[in-house]
Structure 1
Amino acid sequence: MSALRHQRHLRGGRWPARIAWLSVLLLLVAALLLAGAGPAYRLDLLPLGSAFGMLRRGVQISAAAAIVGFLALIAATFCRRLRPALIGGLVMAATAAMLAVPWLHWQRAQTAPPIHDITTDTENPPAFEALAEAREAAPNAVEYPGEAFARQQREAYPDIEPLVLELPLGLAREVAEAAVLDMGWEIAHNSLTSIEATDTTTWFGFKDDVVIRLSEADENVRIDVRSASRMGRGDVGANAARIRDYFEAIERRLD
């Protein structure tokens, strides 16, 4: 009886707690949609359009969870209810953390050019040979798209340039191969002057291909890299970032 009387005398009754727990429920649903979109596509449970639809719904429900959490915080503060206020605040913080990665991707998409094929040599790009058949079966072309892409790349990524190593060719190739393995790419071809590999993204399982060309120049070795997505009009800067990361992996090997 005393517990019932206590509940009756709580300011606002059960509504602050109900609003707070509703925000938790919305947050859980949003988290399932956001986390499950990639695996659902990667496991062939959903087509890509439906998986992206899951992402959009997850973002929308996340926004709803944050709004309801804010309402719970306001109501609980007004009614001097600590627990619902704490739950509402935690839901808002969790929503912000959960949407941070999609937000960063969206921001990057606003500034990245709509291209999906990046190379350190736009005049004579390294060519895919071992991976040509796999790329022919994909939406994006095997051949480099040409000057239209090169112009946009130069404007957006002026730092994407060849790497020159003061090493003999054999040692440079060993370092280049070791860096590919450090990146976790699947090697499809490996010779003295060329390496072809595939990088599979963790979340959606998208496959992007990389070809690395080594050429002797005087007493140095020049390394050119081309990174291209198999699907998608734009890559949100992923291929340029992959080339940068690969060159950094080479530098770490040299150190």
Structure 2
Amino acid sequence: MSHKWTRGLSWLALVLALGGTIAAFTGMTLARFDTIGKLEGFKYLTVSAPVMVGALVIAIIALLLNWRTGWPARRAALIGFLFAVGFVGSLAVRVAMGTDAPMIHDATTDLADVPQFETITLPDDNMRGLSEPSEWVSLHEIGYPDLRSVVLDRPVDQTIRDAEKLAKERGWTIRAVDPEEGRLEATAYASYIRFEDEVVLRVRPDGAGRSLVDMRSVSRVGIGDLGVNAQRIRDFLEDLAAVR
């Protein structure tokens, strides 16, 4: 009887782990290539997550039973465990990295004079999840106190050209670029699903031949973004400042 239970739980763990992994990546892949909606694809991941947690628990029990009964189904239990722990672990790490992020999806370096999109049209519900714009400002100030305008020792037109090159290297889709006006708008992509995030870079002369750079990054779907937009701004401006 113990061998029967061991084999049964081992194979159950394997089936659940493989099934959950296949379901999650099938949905995310379909969403990545826009066969289904981005949020619909993401739901495959959220539905698969508890299944994978269950598979992990069952796999651990199966491994213990295998150890006690002479490893009659060790391969099935081990494979199920590895798939489940990899899935659950990577998801937990990603969520943990964004636990301190505020529940907003719009980040910028200038809250007093927010860079505006001219070519790209944001969704009508861009303030979704919030009662009023002042709530966004308050959450932003608390969550991202480090996001500030940066000054670069180069003219405005050169800054935009450098930014355009960096954006293309990142695989962003350029929607508008005007070196003379000091504006760049682009669509960036997040995660395997390739969620679309809209980006605008505003560059103004500071009066001393340098560039005053501001940036904004906005998610088209969702309420919170786990800090993705703010991190995009940090990384991009850091790389832009390093251009020589």
TM-score w.r.t. structure 2 length? 0.85
| Distance across 1 between alignment mates of 2:228 and 2:241 | 20
Task: Quote the offset at 1:110 in angstroms.
Answer: 3.7
Partner residue of 1:117 out of 106, 109, 114: 106
Moved over 3 A (4+): 11-15, 40-53
1:19 aligned partner, one-letter code: L
The amino acid of 2:163's aligned partner reads A
Aligned to 1:4: none
62-71 or 99-108: bigger deviation: 99-108
Give unpaired runs (5+ residues) of structure 2.
none
Question: After superposition, where does 1:46-125 map in structure 2 within 5 Å?
Answer: 46=36, 50-81=40-71, 84-85=73-74, 87-125=76-114
- Mapped to 2, the partners of 1:176 and 1:186 lie a distance apart of 13
3-state DSSP of counterpart to 1:111: coil
How much identity, in percent, do the aligned residues show? 25
Residue 140 of structure 2 is matched in structure 1 by 153
For each residue in 1:55-114, what CA deviation from the matched residue of structure 2 results, as whole angstroms up to 9, or x when unmatched? Answer: 233112111211221121111111122x63354244323312212332234334542212
Tell me the residue number matched to 2:149.
162
Could you say which structure has the higher helix fraction? Answer: 1
Q: 1:53 to 1:117 in 2, by over 3 A?
A: closer
Shift of 1:13: 4.2
Unaligned runs of 5+ residues in structure 1 are: 1-10
Amino acid aligned to 2:126: N
Asked if the contact 1:227/1:243 (under 8 Å) is kept, the reply is yes
Q: Which moved more, 1:185-194 or 1:17-26?
A: 17-26
Contact residue 113 and residue 156 of structure 1 kept, 8 A: yes
Q: 1:201 to 1:179 in 2, by over 3 A?
A: same
Distance 1:120 1:45 in 2: 35
**Structure-to-structure mapping, 1:1-255, within 5 angstroms:** 12-43=2-33, 46=36, 50-81=40-71, 84-85=73-74, 87-132=76-121, 135-136=122-123, 139-140=125-126, 146-192=133-179, 193-217=182-206, 218-254=208-244
User: Distance between the aligned counterparts of 2:156 and 2:32, measured in 1?
Assistant: 39
